Amino acid sequence: MKITDLLQEIKECQFTFEILPPLKGQKAQEIFDNLDPLMEFKPPFIDVTYHREETIYKRLDNGLLQEKVVRKRPGTVGICAAIMHRYDTETVPHVLCGGFSKEETENLLIDLNFLGIENVVALRGDQAKHESYFTPHREGNAFAIDLVRQIKDLNQGNYLDEDLQNTMSTNFCIGVAGYPEKHFEAPSLNTDIEHLKAKVEAGADYIVTQLFFDNSKYFAFVDKCRAAGITVPIIPGLKPLSTKRQLSILPQIFHVDIPDELVIQAIKCKDNAQVKQLGIEWCIQQSKELRDAGVPVLHYYSMGKSHNIYEIASAIF
Ligand code: FAD
């Protein structure tokens, strides 16, 4: 079922979340062990992230460095299919521009279609670890909007090979990313919202936000999007703080602010067990306020750990 149809049916705020596929060499069972308790809250869908290739350097016995291209977390498609099979719930794989040719993307979308997956989140992806700036694959999509257009084309039966006849059309519902605190490369929030609007005009059906710790930023973002003419659902993304180290890591990776009140309380914590509890309580307050404001879905970034998300879901759903 399409996320947009699900959202229309929803009467009370629902619990959804995002997971990462396992690291290469790890069992799918570890994912299921994390998911099992969360399924009690009947998530209508679960997102699974995609991870681009990385270039690593291995020192050889002769002292030379060997360059290797590796994908540390493959398996997004397989995990999506396994979750659908095991729990009978919708899965939403993320699809990236970075590191993929349009041909590879088309083949991935065909696989997803054959598996009965009807929803994807279309993303540009970040720069590769060895790059300073994002560089698209030379035969790939440069921005998420280009990927949205490719998916829309496939939804109309238009493949890259124009000579194909009597083609099957896919029927993907497309989510895209939005940034209440601005994407870090955008010169201003207004410019970023204009780019977001262009993604919606190109065919995106809904938006999922970057994580945030201050609801006023989400509410202001939604207001700005609406004023700019963006009418699609905007699903808030939440992540509970769980370690002191995240006070510096989260702003660095996700380019988000952590409110002073939360920072001060986290610094006072004696250990990470206390920080985790603080993060749970903060996230419960955020969730309650968002739920009471009428958002149809709360989307949690579980990062593969379910304990704190379980505590939050128990208090809200
Ligand atoms: P875009 O929408 O392409 O925007 C990127 C930047 O380009 C923005 O600054 C935008 O303002 C600007 N821009 C857009 N169009 C134009 C234009 N025409 N001209 C000039 N500038 C333009 N990363 C992963 O690797 N895997 C994942 O699974 C993943 N999941 C995510 C899920 C969510 C909900 C979010 C919020 C992020 C996720 N990311 C993921 C991270 C994401 O890939 C990065 O934030 C990335 O840097 C931007 O992706 P985007 O799709 O927002 O890019």
List pLDDT tens digits, range 191-214: 999 999 999 999 999 999 999 999
> Which pLDDT band, with edges at 50, 70 and 90, does 180 fall under?
very high
Q: Where are the domains of the chain?
A: 3-316
Q: What's the confidence (pLDDT) of residue 156?
A: 97
Q: Is 142 in the pocket of ligand 1 (CB under 6 A)?
A: no
Q: Is pLDDT of 6 > 90?
A: yes
DSSP state of 140: S
Task: Give me the CATH topology for the region 3-316.
Answer: TIM Barrel (3.20.20)
The proportion of the chain whose per-residue pLDDT surpasses 70, expressed as a percent, equals 100
Q: What's the confidence (pLDDT) of residue 225?
A: 98
Q: What's the confidence (pLDDT) of residue 163?
A: 95
Neighbouring CB atoms inside 10 A of 262's CB total 17
Nearest CA to ligand 1 atom 12: 186
Q: Which residues share a beta bridge with 300?
A: 17, 238
Distance 123 CA to ligand 1 centre (A): 5
> Which pLDDT band, with edges at 50, 70 and 90, does 306 fall under?
confident
Mean pLDDT of the chain: 96
Q: What's the confidence (pLDDT) of residue 86?
A: 97
Among 52, 182, 183, name the best residue to mutate to test ligand 1's pocket (greatest count of ligand atoms within 8 A of Cβ). 183
Q: Is pLDDT of 139 > 80?
A: yes
pLDDT digits (tens, 9 = 90+) for 61-84: 999 999 988 989 999 999 999 999
> Which pLDDT band, with edges at 50, 70 and 90, does 305 fall under?
confident
Q: What's the confidence (pLDDT) of residue 130?
A: 83
N-to-C CA span, the chain: 22
Amino acid at residue number 247:
L
Q: What's the confidence (pLDDT) of residue 210?
A: 98
Q: Is 175 in the pocket of ligand 1 (CB under 6 A)?
A: no
Q: Is 212 in the pocket of ligand 1 (CB under 6 A)?
A: no
Q: What's the confidence (pLDDT) of residue 303?
A: 81
Ligand 1 atom closest to the Cα of residue 183 is 9
DSSP state of 123: E
Distance 124 CA to ligand 1 centre (A): 5
Q: What's the confidence (pLDDT) of residue 304?
A: 74
pLDDT digits (tens, 9 = 90+) for 80-112: 999 999 999 999 999 999 999 999 999 999 999
Distance 96 CA to ligand 1 centre (A): 9
39-52 average pLDDT score: 97
Nearest CA to ligand 1 atom 32: 177
Q: Are strands 65-70 and 54-59 parallel, antiparallel or unpaired?
A: antiparallel
Q: Is 143 in the pocket of ligand 1 (CB under 6 A)?
A: yes
Ligand 1 atom closest to the Cα of residue 177 is 36
Rounded to whole angstroms, the Cα distance separating 208 from 175 reads 7
43-61 average pLDDT score: 93
Record the tokens describing residue 133, joined without a space.
Answer: 């700036």
Cβ-based burial of 27 (10 A; exposed 0-12, middle 13-18, buried ≥19): exposed
Cβ-based burial of 226 (10 A; exposed 0-12, middle 13-18, buried ≥19): exposed
Among 135, 195, 234, name the best residue to mutate to test ligand 1's pocket (greatest count of ligand atoms within 8 A of Cβ). 195
